[in-house]
């Protein structure tokens, strides 16, 4: 296989509005350092990463504008928060599950029984986030979601026949906070429930960069680092980027608070400089 035939993939993980801002900052910082990941052959997006991934793959409105939007301070939606009772229910689901699918079923049941805003209202919010990136791009994009009944992961692409805003709305359907999204008669919840990055979907690609606002894993949800290591074990060149101490401080304790976006974006852009050499080696190796 020649250098030109080696395929590249970018994986963008879950992490709320603030995590999306941090991802945008990382992408902007890497581009400033000379490695623009927008040319990837594959973009995988989960939850917040689905929004950023759709915009990155579409090339619209462009990385510079996406970054500036994070710094504007304008909040297109109110802050939200996962309350302690909901967090505890997530924890119980982890403790009583043995597989990601079992965990997905338990969390799916929680989501199906929760009182939330309506599906149409939620879809409108997500569509506003996407901006002009409302159609599937020519570049290959996979958007993850989890079946609320079976707990199984799906990766929507352009060939799925599902409108992009619907797929991204499903991927961003945080259980207990936002309504499961209905697609083809089935209910779907946040793609980050299966894993916070879903980097395994980049299997078969030669050069992979994983950008994941949520670094942690547990006994059923694999961490981005473990998924990256599994890809590397197959011969891929992989760089996994998760928040450093400064970025974790900027992201704060509520990744759903739009007021934290600017600080997170700036922290991501600054952190990118420390990964630039490693990412360039992966991307050109």
Active-site residue numbers? 47, 190
Do residues 101 and 152 make contact, with C-beta atoms less than 8 angstroms apart? yes
**CA angle, 68 then 73 then 79, to 5°:** 125
Q: Is the dihedral of CA 242, 213, 216, 44 positive or negative?
A: negative
* Euclidean distance between CA atoms 276 and 190, whole angstroms: 30
Q: Is the dihedral of CA 215, 260, 130, 82 positive or negative?
A: positive
**Torsion-angle region of 252 (φ positive above 0: left; ψ -120 to 50: alpha; else: beta):** left
H helices of 96-145, in order, are: 100-113, 119-130
Residue 209 host element (H or E): strand 207-211
* Euclidean distance between CA atoms 147 and 271, whole angstroms: 35
Nearest Cα residue to 165 out of 50, 41, 74: 50
Do residues 259 and 249 make contact, with C-beta atoms less than 8 angstroms apart? no
Peptide bond into 61 cis (omega under 30): yes
């Amino acid at each position: 296989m020649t250098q030109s035939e080696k395929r590249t993939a970018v994986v963008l993980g879950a992490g709320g509005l603030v995590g999306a801002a941090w991802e945008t900052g990382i992408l902007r910082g890497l581009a400033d350092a000379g490695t623009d990941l927008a040319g990837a052959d594959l973009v995988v997006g989960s939850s917040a990463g689905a929004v950023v991934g759709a915009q990155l793959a579409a090339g619209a409105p462009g990385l510079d504008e996406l970054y500036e939007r994070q710094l504007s301070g304008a909040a297109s939606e109110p802050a939200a928060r996962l309350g302690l009772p909901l967090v505890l229910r997530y924890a119980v689901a982890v403790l009583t599950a043995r597989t990601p699918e079992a965990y997905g079923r338990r969390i799916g049941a929680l989501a199906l029984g929760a009182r939330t805003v309506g599906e149409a209202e939620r879809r409108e919010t997500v569509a506003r986030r996407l901006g002009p990136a409302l159609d599937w791009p020519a570049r290959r994009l996979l958007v993850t979601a989890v079946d609320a009944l079976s707990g199984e992961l799906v990766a929507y692409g352009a060939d799925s026949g599902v409108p992009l805003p619907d797929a991204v709305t499903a991927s961003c359907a945080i259980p207990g906070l936002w309504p499961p999204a209905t697609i083809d008669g089935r209910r779907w919840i946040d793609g980050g429930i299966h894993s916070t990055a879903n980097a395994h979907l980049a299997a078969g690609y030669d050069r992979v960069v994983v950008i994941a606002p949520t670094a942690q894993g547990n006994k059923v949800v694999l961490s981005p680092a473990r998924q990256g290591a599994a890809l590397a074990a197959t011969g891929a060149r992989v760089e996994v980027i998760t928040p450093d101490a400064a970025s974790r401080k900027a992201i704060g304790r509520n990744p759903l608070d739009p007021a934290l976006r600017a600080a997170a974006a700036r922290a991501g852009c600054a952190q990118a400089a420390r990964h630039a050499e490693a990412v360039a080696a992966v991307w050109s190796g």
